Chain A
């Protein structure tokens, strides 16, 4: 406490009489308030210590009068004495105004209560008069004084006071962090940032400096204003509150009287309170800006991070090359002193020392300062790791789920060091300095520590234990290796330890250990690799050091499903560990390749027949991880693994079921696999699994598998039998997105069959589907639009969709930035227009809708183009709408697409052209835009689906004579005559009519010429 009062309080410079007083700063006020609270509660919190007399009284001049004292005091005219006395009968409080002397905390606390609203003043006066209260309270030789009967109390008092001291230091550190000057560089950075917010995002209209000239000290204000700490002036045009004139000064930002806006007399005056920075000022002044910032929560993150940089430690940079006022200098001096002062703190109380140490580093960010405040020796070197032991294997395929990005986070999760920390430190010493026997003992003892606890994991690392453990792996001593790996296996659940192990080259050694004949050692090495290889660099290391094929070799045991000997059991265990490691490794694409090349697939296939769940889980885990690669999917199917996967769908372990389902999910992209799943009765197992609605991962995998399986119509029939649709519809609410995506995907596939469309309606699936159209998840939107589109093919469904305004929702998805969503929405729109009543009117009612869809013809994505063409061909059925889209120049846009080679697009494009011919002079316009000749070539396309629509388009176009000529020149007749022989009647008719038109024109021509 003494040190805190001496150092932390901000004292003024000594005045004439050499006395310095407490400055009236917020820091001081805060600290005083803290001390007052402390003293007032002292009697109740520590009753014993409160009555203990001080070594020397605290004396100061008080503003209290004898009249302020009531009972418990002997009051005379000129003096007051407390009735409470010490052992010798001397009163603990004695006052002869204005002098007062107090000798115990109980009296101090009563006094503060008495002084009521003057307590602040009293406390201040007391502290000013007693610069080292610790010395007076406890005496010069604290704790060492023998013979004193109350020495134990004294010791306790000492501890309490030190705690207070620590708290005060902590508080003040917190204060500094907010009370730091703004530097010109920070202002510059902030202004740049704010300028970034102008324009597109429309948070602000503009942010400008009043002066383009920047002085060499980075200030833009004139030197005579720099004296006042002013750095630059800004003119900020906001979107809502007009123009703000802002002064940026070392104290922060405030509004001025209009600098840069004509000549005002009091332009430089402060017109608002001082905010920490310009952003804060704007937040307070412009509601629009504040709201916008709030909205962009995600972007807010990095911004706050940047904001931290604005607050620079004072000693970083000073604006003042120019002369500055005395006041300013003074202020800087005190502020600059603070970090330095703290260095000098006597490090007597242990906690205090830590606080100072952290301060020495002159913390630049607030987070660091908080560390100092929370003050534990560990916080500086630890972090909270996110990986809990169980978490590891549930993560799914994407590589982005690496813990690559984990940085040392400063956790404040625990405040004191666990006792095991010191124990571990000792054990590591034995590891370093002992022979084999001592090492083994130390290793065994270390295993008794709670290695799952982060503190222990980091303790091992911090005292250099990790290096020793890894070095032990390089020795010849089997026992040491085993013991070391047992520990490494445990602690490698921590992300930081994993990283450290890789950095120390531990993975290489472990990989080479895989060659050992000792099975236990092999297992441990593989399991540890499985733990360590959770991030990309580690996985790469394993691959580059030949770990993959070594691991694959571990799989080469021959487990006979029946009784196993002990030796064989060990082999199975080796295989299990190998699979575990491969599973971790298989999260990298290159590793998947390497695993396949090492010949793992048949081995995995063999292990897949194992009856043990603990073997199956890593095996299936690896398979499902790898099934993202096509080569694996083929291999899984070819090796006959689908049967085993299907079989395990009905096992009793949910994790295994999840992996099996998700392997099927991935593999069922392939038609043959889907058939196999059906043949092995997997569809029924999947349907049974749908009941496990609690386990979301399992549910996601199951619904995924059902989705992919339902791509085959035979499977859909099966599903109908099992009445899956009703179950799926029930899953449309209250499920996480990854489940919803799959459920909706499955519904979309099932609804390709008309009976299911009715079933979906009857089980009430339409409203939830339509409401999902408002979502944001792209994958979900793609599936929902597909499902809604499929449902809309049923007129009764369409009525519901229409009532729910589903078409409008679909239409608005055309604005989605993702082309896949656009296309899917456009496809869904087609049946809607087809089946809605008054669809023409409905489409017209979407303001700007037609323009929107026509403009999508500019998309570079051919799927979008095809879907939009399809939609346009539906829209164009309504004449009025056709007129509108013609006005939006649909004709030239369609014409410009005619050179495509994409058969799918060709098909819908010609359909759209055929429809659009129906209006006005569009036929001629298509001809002029050069659409005719390319269309003729469509008839040579390989896809027969193109022919029908092309023939129809040509027929429509042939009603214009000029087009006929073009067609004829392009050699259409021969092609059309071929088409006339088709079995497709529509095609026949269109082709024949087109030829007829051409012929008629030729006849008319001849007639003209010869007639």
Chain B
């Protein structure tokens, strides 16, 4: 479980996060949604320590990440898997080397053992026979799957994904969403996803947090989001006519 209390972060005098308090549940797919510029990425990077918050705390299973010793911090880092928006695969390394990289850095396994583990996770993300390819030779969806494989290769307790299906076609986006949810259930990981893909919200959002101008405006489940009266959430989530009709149908059926 990740508990966030009163998180503040700013850049050059502009406050981006204005006191966010929330909890991310273990074994669940937690979604952070909001418009571009609402502070989603800054929030996610503050959770994983890439940004240092000015105020507030983040506790991982009761352990404050600001109070870690250097050794504990290293240990904590290895409990985290991160899928970046642009995949962030190492260009000069093959798929196999990318996925093997954390194992090489942090374990004492033999090459054969590492290769076994790499093949297990690559199979898990349905990427057999791509071991020797370079990231540039892969499609966007395949790159995302390699990034997921790299993120889970160390059996993390926490998985963070920044816009995992941005730039992907709707069909591939659903594949990626489902894959993340399956992995979350399978490994009982605390998963936190940044997204503004409404399909993801409806399909996999077990807990949803809506950020608006750096503040937590709303939180609830994917079912709550259909019935909420919060104007900002309704305005953001149901901005398209199609989704407005979907919501109307849902509300009519539940009356």
**A and B part of one assembly:** no
Which residues of B line the A interface, CB within 8 A?
A: none
